[in-house]
Amino acid sequence: MEFSDDINSVTTEIQISQQDIEEHGKFIMNLPIPENTLVVMIKREG
C-alpha cells in the first residue's frame, strides 16, 4: 500500500491465530488489535 507523504502512517501486518479467536471471539472488535488501527481484511486461500 502507498500513502501520501502528507499522511503520517505505518503499514504493518498482524496475523490472528486460532488461539486468538478462541480466547477473544470471532468479531474483529474483540480481537487484540492496537488502538487507532485501520483494519483491512484479506481472505487468503488455504
pLDDT tens track for 10-31: 788 888 888 988 999 989 889 8
Domain of 7 in residue numbering reads as 1-46
Which residue, 3, 32, 36, is CA-closest to 15? 32
Please state the domain count of the chain.
Answer: 1
What percent of the chain is predicted at pLDDT more than 90? Answer: 11
Does the model's pTM come out above 0.75? no
**Does the pLDDT value for residue 32 go beyond 90?**
no
Share of the chain above pLDDT 70, in %: 93
